[in-house]
Chains A and B, each alone.
Chain A
Amino acid sequence: MAIETKLLTITPAPHIKSKFSTTRMMSIVIIALMPAFIGSIYFFGFRALLITLISVASAVFTEFVYQKLCRKKVTVTDGSAALTGLLLAFIISPSVPLWLPVVGSVFSILIVKQLFGGVGFNFLNPALAGRAFLMASWPAFMTAEWMTPKSGTLSGIESITTATPLGALKLSGYSANVAGSLNSMESLKHLLLGNVGGSIGETSALLLLIGGIFLIITGIIDWRIPLSYIGSVFALYIVLFLTGVSQLTPIFHILAGGLMIGAFFMATDPVTSPITKKGRWIFGVCAGLLTVLIRQWGGYPEGVSYSILIMNMFVPLIEKYTLPKPFGRVRRTA
């Protein structure tokens, strides 16, 4: 028989797909960072806006040029490069020279992300790796100069105006007075609101928390990582504070530095964190442990970025040992 039927489209099932896409996911994360972005412009002024725009633009441009040159499909519209640029700007000082975020973004996108295969294949968080690169190459720009926020001091307390909260105690030679004022309600309020010195987008714990909770509610991130990460830092500092090892309270420690942005926006990066639920607990707790180790006994005042980068490298190992048990499988005896 002659087949003159009008042929229809055939594809494998399922024939309906969720509207949720990579682009939508990246957009929601960018939206979640907007409170902190607006806060950063308020605290650090036009400089914060400028550095952020430069960082985002160079990240997107790098990805576009690389993919064009390699004749790959251009994927800048998925928003992942823009997000990397945004996050990188948020974790560098507002007083850096304007070329620094450009170099950082090129490193993040080209070396960390694209050379490993593009979105989904980078084994380190691109923004954090970019920051680590800048720290290693231009430490003076990255740590020496900070900007005093609007309506606040660099350290969040009156007596010290030359260091960020986490660096202040060390600078004072571990004075009990300084520790006392850092632990005060006044100082904690500044940490929560963000009128203290620090990187562009990391100073306000409250604004980051708003974004983080938004991400949990919209189902973009798994609550297990921020909870286990912040929880383990908090728990360890209870022990260290009560035993007198740390002069600063656990509350100070979870509000200060980059823990909030790290726990909600960096450690939860799906590409570089475990995909298994059990693995996410392990990842968060270990990152918390490393953060405390570096803050308390390391050479840097802050340990969030390195602890997440170190844990990124353990992800394949963690996943290997936390595979879920398939339905109906009985653990073999003997």
Chain B
Amino acid sequence: MPKFFTFKGGIHPGEFKFTERDAIEDFVAPDVVYIPLSQHFGKPAKPVVKKGDKVYVGSLVGEPDGGFSASIHSSVSGTVKKVDKYHHFSGNMEQTVIIENDGQMEKDPAIKSAYSDSITPEKIIEIARDYGIVGLGGATFPASIKMSPPQGKTFDTLILNGAECEPYLTSDHRLMIEFPEEIILGALLIKKAINANKLIIAIEENKMDAVSVYEKIKDKYKFDIAILKTKYPQGGEKQIIKAILDREVPEGGLPVDIHTYVQNVGTAYALWDAVYNGMPLVKRIVSITGSVKNRKNLKVAIGTPISALIEHCGGYMGEAGKLITGGPMMGIALYTDEIPVTKGTSGVLIQRKEEMSLDEPTNCIRCGRCISSCPMDLMPNLLGDFSEFYKFEESKELGVLNCIECGSCSYVCPAKRHLVQLIKVTKAELKKKGR
């Protein structure tokens, strides 16, 4: 019996991994794609194309704006219709490169493999930056920045995150099963870039079929497998490190402070594609699930409107109430299905009107479930109270800035208080005041 790793706190929502056995299907890019210049954590990219420009699959359309930004590439070949504001998952209208697809899917002539056995760490980081590689687990943090630690700090362990603890989502699961060697080769590139000496792939125990795939190749590529207990938020960066290595990221610190680097499996795959094939990040796997006629895992060109995916899946089942990008715990509810898929779109979950949870909050009965569920050992009930009374400073000492916004407290609350939302308000207010 292998040892299952886990952390303290967390919750056990229903898994609903409907699409875990559905092979990834290629989705043909639609006639028009909408590629937002803001798809990552950091400043939006600066457009480098204009109306009428001819672009190919993999052509640069947006370059990083300063150090904290990422490159954006075209996912189709065709002509730039315009660069204008368009629907965006953030809820605002954002600058978007709108491209008319010529259907040829012609690759940019500059695309070629950069791989050699003697590839240097600097070259890998450069490719990650130039090819628009960002964390695909949802946080979309630019990988090149993450791989360049501050002066004097070092890594020793790379954890490849295949926990996929959000209910419903199966995109990482399918990727892990269908592209194991590619993922590991990509991870070895990261390992080289950050000069770590150990690679561990972490998978939750509800994906034992994926575990067995990696058991077969672990000796060939020399890595370890950590099986995690199925629990949310097991895939949280701090939780996964604590579970596997029993190291605690210090308050206000980063994983590099404890010499650990965590990257999602999808990101490793994207880096493999970039280095071995010279292909920038222009496609990703998206689980289309929930109340849709045929649930699927699709490989989607970035910029495809979600409506096209839903149509491909046979349309909505019943009357659509909520459209959620990402999982149900941390995903963002979208106001329209015209919003395009971006690098962070790990899934699209549809809830019918009658499935939506719209409970009104009632009085806290101090049952303490939020405290037991908090993976960061905070007091969500108190933080919620402080937020309701505009006492933001008081929350600081209680560690409100440590909150990872996983939503476990809101999930378990019998009084249906909007705890994580109240905490987000406090964090935003403190940020406004410059902390």
Q: Do A10 and B414 have beta carbons less than 8 Å apart?
A: no
Q: A21-B359, A119-B362, A270-B367 are in contact. List 5 more A-B contacts (CB 8 A).
A: A10-B91, A14-B407, A15-B357, A326-B251, A326-B377
A contact residues around B324 at 8 Å (CB): 15
Q: Kindly state the separation between the CA atoms of A324 and B332 in the bound complex, as whole angstroms.
A: 30
Q: Do A325 and B377 have beta carbons less than 8 Å apart?
A: yes
| Chain A contacts to B: CB under 8 angstroms | 3, 5-18, 20-22, 24-25, 75, 78, 80, 117-121, 222, 270-271, 275-276, 323-330
Q: Kindly state the separation between the CA atoms of A3 and B338 in the bound complex, as whole angstroms.
A: 10
The contact of A330 among B251, B329, B335, B363, by CB within 8 Å, is B251
Given contacts A20-B412, A120-B363, A328-B250, contact A15 B377 (CB under 8 A): no
The contact of B414 among A22, A117, A271, by CB within 8 Å, is A22
Q: Do A329 and B336 have beta carbons less than 8 Å apart?
A: no
Q: Do A326 and B322 have beta carbons less than 8 Å apart?
A: no
Q: Do A16 and B167 have beta carbons less than 8 Å apart?
A: yes
A contact residues around B356 at 8 Å (CB): 9, 11, 15
The contact of B337 among A8, A12, A22, A24, by CB within 8 Å, is A8
Q: Do B357 and A270 have beta carbons less than 8 Å apart?
A: no
Q: Kindly state the separation between the CA atoms of A78 and B381 in the bound complex, as whole angstroms.
A: 20
B contact residues around A15 at 8 Å (CB): 322, 324, 328-329, 331, 333, 349, 351, 356-357
A contact residues around B368 at 8 Å (CB): 222, 270, 275-276
Most central of B248, B251, B334, B367 by chain A CB within 10 Å: B367
Q: Do B251 and A119 have beta carbons less than 8 Å apart?
A: no
Shortest beta-carbon distance, B314 to chain A, in Å?
18
The closest CB in chain B to the CB of A3 belongs to B336
Shortest beta-carbon distance, B63 to chain A, in Å?
26
Q: How many A-B residue pairs have CB under 8 A?
A: 166
The contact of A326 among B253, B329, B335, B378, by CB within 8 Å, is B378
Q: Kindly state the separation between the CA atoms of A323 and B413 in the bound complex, as whole angstroms.
A: 19
Q: Do A14 and B330 have beta carbons less than 8 Å apart?
A: yes
A contact residues around B338 at 8 Å (CB): 5
Q: Do B13 and A16 have beta carbons less than 8 Å apart?
A: yes
A contact residues around B358 at 8 Å (CB): 9, 11
B contact residues around A17 at 8 Å (CB): 357, 359, 410-411, 413, 416
B312 at the interface (CB under 8 A from A): no
Given contacts A24-B414, A275-B368, contact A13 B238 (CB under 8 A): no
Q: Do B333 and A11 have beta carbons less than 8 Å apart?
A: yes
Q: Kindly state the separation between the CA atoms of A25 and B365 in the bound complex, as whole angstroms.
A: 10
Q: Do B412 and A18 have beta carbons less than 8 Å apart?
A: yes
Q: Kindly state the separation between the CA atoms of A141 and B388 in the bound complex, as whole angstroms.
A: 45
Interface string of B148-179 (1 = CB under 8 A from A): 00000000000000000001000000000000
Q: Do B363 and A117 have beta carbons less than 8 Å apart?
A: yes
Q: Do A120 and B415 have beta carbons less than 8 Å apart?
A: yes
B379 at the interface (CB under 8 A from A): yes
Q: Kindly state the separation between the CA atoms of A11 and B421 in the bound complex, as whole angstroms.
A: 10
The closest CB in chain B to the CB of A22 belongs to B414
Q: Do B379 and A25 have beta carbons less than 8 Å apart?
A: no
Q: Which of B243-275 contact A (CB under 8 A)?
A: 248-251, 253
Given contacts A20-B414, A22-B365, A327-B238, contact A13 B329 (CB under 8 A): yes
The closest CB in chain A to the CB of B401 belongs to A326
Q: Kindly state the separation between the CA atoms of A244 and B200 in the bound complex, as whole angstroms.
A: 63
Q: Do A119 and B250 have beta carbons less than 8 Å apart?
A: no
Given contacts A11-B322, A15-B333, contact A327 B248 (CB under 8 A): yes
Shortest beta-carbon distance, B391 to chain A, in Å?
15
Shortest beta-carbon distance, B423 to chain A, in Å?
11
Given contacts A8-B321, A12-B418, A14-B420, contact A271 B336 (CB under 8 A): no
